[in-house]
Structure 1
Amino acid sequence: MGGLDMNERQKLVDTYVATALEQGGLLLGDHLSVDVSSNEDRSDFVVVTVTYDATELPVWNLYQGLPLPEKTITRTSLIRAGGY
């Protein structure tokens, strides 16, 4: 992952996400949060956490009676921070 520090890395991620949201789809930008933080165990990795409030997605109305995932979706990824 590029960026000299955590602030720059957060800006890079925010720009990427904003561009992806502009391309369309079902995701709403104000329901999405992305956090870039340092990894406590390994300084050469960063942790990217994406959280999406999916309560307004139409899927919740399509499958009545079937088990569905949580309406708040959170995923985390560990990414190498430069130094390849």
Structure 2
Amino acid sequence: MLSYPVRMVPTREGKVRIVFPDLPQAVCEGDDEEDALFRATFVMEMALAHLADHGERPPKPSDICGAPTVCTEKFSAAA
């Protein structure tokens, strides 16, 4: 299982943007924090699948104290 920290950024439109410091290609927005985190799992898994398709290992998750995280069981650090 992999778990990556995220940063939640409010947008001017009142939505919440999720960015992954370790997966810069994985970005999504939701209507609120709960919706954004729900969408973030799918986006993270797509980014990890892209890396795997190109023979790359997933990056090591950063240790950002207190940051919310998004987890997936579809991938592991050894993948």
Same fold (TM over 0.5): no
* Structure showing the higher strand proportion among its residues: 1
Please report the TM-score for the alignment, with normalisation by the length of structure 2: 0.33
Q: Which has the higher contact order (CA 8 A, sep 6+)?
A: 2
Please report the TM-score for the alignment, with normalisation by the length of structure 1: 0.31
